Structure 1
Amino acid sequence: MTVVTQSAEVAATGAREYLTFRLDQEEYGIDILKVQEIRGYEPPTRIAHAPEFIKGVVNLRGTIVPIVDMRLKFNCSKADYNSFTVVIILNLRNRVVGIVVDSVSDVMELSPDNMRSAPDIESAIDSSCILGLGSVGERMLILLDIEKLMSSVDMGLVAVED
């Protein structure tokens, strides 16, 4: 009963839940509804001639899943893979894709009052893939449109449907 009430409150306020993760010193948020699961990092099988940020593929219960290193995609320093490194498995337009991040923080609920539009600045991330900035207390999150980011032409992972 409490879950139904919370869902009704979320719908009424326009709040959304975001899975938060870290890359270097930055904290990002992606729509929790796009997340299928979170797994520990295991080295993928490399694919010849793939872009550097596509680390390879893994076999996830019979599904071949491309693995994207977000540090390399966002031009961060090289990643050190350790016990905190995780792969977030995403389900995007019925395509499964994994992203490697430094660590997963938590799930945060953000209402429209806690969200601001992102400043229009040059960055490694296409500005159309940034939904905005979310703030809770002292924390500032860069909210990503992960589906749009993963379907960009340079990724070649998810076919864009018209």
Structure 2
Amino acid sequence: MSTNDEMIDNKLDDLYMVFIINDKKYALSSKYIIEIIEMLPITKVPFLPKYMKGIINLRSTIIPVMDTRMRFDMEPIDYNERTCIIIIEHETDKIGLIVDAVNEVINISPDKSMKMNSSKDGVKQNFIKGVSEINNEVQLILDCESLVRIVEETNDGIDE
């Protein structure tokens, strides 16, 4: 890989999508985001946790969809014209995250963020990877791997 390619990869690693849930800002690394789509009809699947709203068919690909408000123990709301689904992917797993609104794409360099101390044995679902302050606003940086792991755990629960 050339030096220019490495510089471009490093710049891309610093890009984050900021979205809003319950008037709070969250960030997710853009390298995991496939696309942002408007709300689609969601097919309910029995025996899933309440925060898993079901599945969508996106161009012949079945993707599980999670309501992030409900997963983060917030009250659900009626979806509106700003509500959208962020499709993320880690390795081969994909999941759709329902968020209140997408805000912006920002650059968060490693020196502008603070990693969270979390142990794998501690909190089972720690979705927060770090915290950043940009323009005097705090953004919680979400851990994509933890969010996608929900798909694996949900599949395990169905198989049992």
TM-score, normalization by structure 1:
0.80
Aligned residues: 150
Measured against aligned partners, the alpha-carbon deviations of 1:48-105 in whole angstroms (never above 9, x if no partner) come to: 1111011111111111111100001001111220000000011221122111000011
Gaps of 5+ in 1: none
Q: What does residue 106 of structure 2 align with?
A: 108
| C-alpha displacement of 1:134 | 0.8
Equivalent-residue separation in structure 1 for 2:124 and 2:26 (angstroms): 12
Q: C-alpha separation between the residues in 2 aligned to 1:45 and 1:35?
A: 22
Does the alignment pair 1:60 with 2:52?
no
User: Is the partner of 2:47 in helix, strand or coil?
Assistant: coil
Task: Please tell me the residue identity of whatever aligns with 2:57.
Answer: N
Root mean square deviation, CA, Å: 2.9
Q: Answer 1 or 2: which has greater helix percent.
A: 2
Contact 1:151 / 1:157 at 8 angstroms: preserved in 2?
no
Question: Which aligned segments of 4 or more residues in structure 1 are displaced greater than 6 angstroms?
Answer: 4-7
Does structure 1 conserve the Cα–Cα contact (< 8 Å) formed by 2:13 and 2:31?
no
* Offset at residue 139 of structure 1 (A): 1.5
- The 1:116–1:50 alpha-carbon spacing in structure 2 relative to 1, beyond 3 Å, is same
2:154 aligns to what SS in structure 1?
Answer: coil
Name 1:126's counterpart in structure 2: 125
Deviations 1:90-125 (A, max 9, x none): 1221122111000011111111221123477xxx98
Q: Structure 2: give runs of 5+ residues left out of the alignment.
A: none
Quick one: percent identity of the two aligned structures?
A: 27
For 1:38, the equivalent position in structure 2 comes to: 36
Q: 1:146 to 1:9 in 2, by over 3 A?
A: closer
In the other structure, the counterpart of 1:47 is 45
**Structure 1 segment 80-91 matched on structure 2, within 5 A:** 80-91=78-89
Residue 75 and residue 17 in structure 1: after superposition, are their counterparts in 2 closer, same or farther (change >3 A)?
same
